[in-house]
Amino acid sequence: MHPRLIVLTGATRGLGRSLVPQFVEAGHTVIGCGRKESLVQELRKSFASPHRFDVVDVRDAAAVEAWARSVLKSHGPPALLINNAALMNSPAPLWKVPAAEMKDLFDVNVIGVANMIRAFVPAMVALESGVIVNLSSLWGRSTSPEVAPYCATKYAIEGLTLALAKELPQGMAAVPMNPGIIDTEMLRQAFGNGAGKYHNAEAWALKAAPFLMSLGAKDNGKSLSVA
């Protein structure tokens, strides 16, 4: 597979962080972002140019747009845009979830994805090339108690992505992807120690990275899962 440019949000933790070395070892160039300066610096030390990692808050539309302009100037449009950054709510009945926490989830999990699409996808559309993968969840296609805010955001991602798929030119693809159940910090927020019975992010990435790189126009508008 020829080298490709990948833009990845939430690159500093969890699933995003586990994907970075897999993509790099396969010869691809990774442009990633996260909110914590120390974790971004660690990525910069581990993966030098042409890879690029920056502190960006996907909730901030102006910051995302400025970052995209810089990336497009330095590297060009991505072949693969992965919107991975997300938050989980603290488990509780919906009526006990604070308004501020609910807003944070929607701002990151939904508005953040829209901000990235607005900033990067026009350049991809101009080339009529590229794949947009928005991380969904099993809880974007089913529900459980005490995670209603998270379920709501991931259902929104399913709808947003499937609608986007109908707007793209032929040759492109938009895919909502359920990564499966993985032992991450986020899952432990919901499952506690019960998350430990699932495989970790590094093991998941061994399958997920080649799966992501295999996606193309044939997959446009399909709700997919990493097997």
The CATH number covering residue 62 comes to: 3.40.50.720
d(CA 6, CA 219): 18
Q: pLDDT for 114-131, tens place per residue?
A: 999 999 999 999 999 999
pLDDT below 50 — which residues of the chain? none
pTM of the model: 0.94
pLDDT at site 181: 81
Q: The domain containing residue 26 runs over which residues?
A: 5-225
pLDDT at site 200: 83
pLDDT at site 194: 67
Q: How far apart are the first and last CA of the chain?
A: 21
**Is 155 designated active site?**
no
Q: pLDDT for 62-107, tens place per residue?
A: 999 999 999 999 999 999 999 999 999 999 999 999 999 999 999 9
pLDDT at site 65: 98
Q: Looking at 47, 150, 155, 204, which residue is catalytic?
A: 150
Q: How many domains does the chain have?
A: 1
pLDDT at site 187: 59
